[in-house]
Structure 1
Amino acid sequence: MKLNKKIELAVWSIKIIKSDTIFPKRVNAHDFTSPTLQCTDVTDVEAEFVADPFVVSNGLNYYLFFEVLNKQSERGEIAVAVSADGEKWQYDRVVLKENFHLSYPYVFAHENDYYMLPESSEAGGVFLYKSNQFPYNWERGKQLLAGSFVDPTLFHHNQKWWMFVGSKDGRNLYLFYSDRIDGEWVEHPYNPIVRNNSHISRPAGKVVSHEGDIYRFTQDGVPSYGKLVKAARITKLSETEYEEEVIEQDQLTGSDQEGSWRKDGMHHIDHLQTEDNKWLIAVDGHFMKEQNYLFWKAKRFMNRPFYSSYKLSRHIIRRLQLIVQLWL
């Protein structure tokens, strides 16, 4: 292996804005210059990045749930940040971690309880979590779907619950429906409702109902993952029909500006309507960072909890970390 081998890492950050419209691209006044939350704001684990934000309110505060990629576990974990006004945010803590990767923490309230539907494709299913002490203490409940689906996106329409899920390869989109959240989920007869089309197949945030229309936000995975977000209007939705039309080809895109936190792309948008009929919108974006592969692997190795298995002292660990820092 070459000592100068390079690796490119995506560094994701989160921005939260207030808007008069669900389409922030149309509002020039929004300042995307700097992110609201980034990996350096995470205080309880060493984070590679933060991404996939979902915002919810309990009437007293706003809560932002998002993925934290933990360098030590090398898995996604779910964390929360809190705000009293939707503008000033404070990182709180990691609230959910499993022995498999978690991301895309769609949190919602239903019948006075709070639920989370995160991506858990590594575990081979879609699981429903319930909070016993919001925003903490998330307990895994029923498995809603079996299969390695990504980015489960739930919404309610015409007395039924609907769920979009993407395929692991990012090429197909599936739709399921149920009378109850924890009921039996039925596969739509048109599945996959998007077939072999990476431009519009992967969910990119909450489904939004606004002024009589239903909007689905989708990632465009071409030419690479995480480039931009599109918006589609759902025009037909029933147990036997599904149709949509893409209305925003580039709803969210990267800035293409050197030094920008979102230079290389954006892939998520979430909406919460506030009491004044405004929208609190959470998005994410990333830039690519080049690192020496061997140094990156060495830092990952030293971040692992291996004191007991390798019997290395804290003194040796500190020396190794110092050497790597000096080389970098």
Structure 2
Amino acid sequence: KGAAPIWHALMSWALQAEPVQTWPEPPGMIERPVCDISGLLPTPLCPTVSEWFIVGTEPVLYDNIYQEFAINRENGRLATINTPPDLIERKIYKIYPEAAADWVRENDIEQPPTEYDTINVPQPGGDVAILSPRPFGYVRGQALISGTVNLDGFAFYRLAYFEGLSPTDLRTIADNVTAPVTNGPLGVWDAENLNGLYTLLLTAVRQDGSFEEVSLPVTVDNTPPSAEILFPLPDQQIFTDEEWVIVQAQASDDQSLARVEFYVDNAGVPFAISTVPPFTEKWTIRGAGCHTFRVVAVDAAGNETEGTAVPVCLVERP
């Protein structure tokens, strides 16, 4: 602590007559602005810094850590197409990879809400309605959209969807359908290559050109959850006098995990179902022998994943 100021004073005195020199960058280097955290190309959302790169190694992808979300300022939920505009505020959050989830929690880094605003959500019913899926429901793959279009002077209806909450890129599911529908299929939505929040838009047109519209927010989830057994360990031996085999599973989903099913051997029916973590269940020991435990994780959209089966042998204590 005491040597630093002395060294600084000595060097300042020794070099006071020397001309100031700048650092000439070596050949083959290039300076680029990047996002301060990720080091990727900056977006309007992130603070930037200037970095030097060897030519050819500079980033080519844009930052995805700083993300903007529309929030209902009154209830703190994610805004939807039905949220009054005067209640919407836009907030920027730092979204780190899933592998950093524990670090994010430990450092109290604010994350966006996960629940959507339910204010003014249209209730199914009436002459123009989408009955299935439900508001904020989950769909996947080839999704059947059901509802009612049966208003006076009906001419035709069209069913479309767009990503998120703002209809900037409207895409058709069914167009110019002239047959009225009462609590029946309106169209089949090919959502196999989609993921995230989307809005369905049903438009019913009368013969005089007037029309009625209803919209419905839904979440598309085509990504299966993950599942694995943490305990018991593969080929572990457990004494029969321990009464139970404790099966501990780890499961997660990028949208919403519905349940984890626990199976033993080739049983078609689970011996236990867990809907909230920690996903830990007991299986009653009935005697010595070897068994195989497995878990199946199912998300809200119906996607499922079976984890690697774990063989276990139950033995008498010596």
Q: TM-score, structure 1 length as denominator?
A: 0.24
**Greater RCO, 1 or 2 (C-alpha within 8 Å, sep 6+):** 1
Please state which structure has a larger fraction of its residues in strand: 1
Q: TM-score, structure 2 length as denominator?
A: 0.24
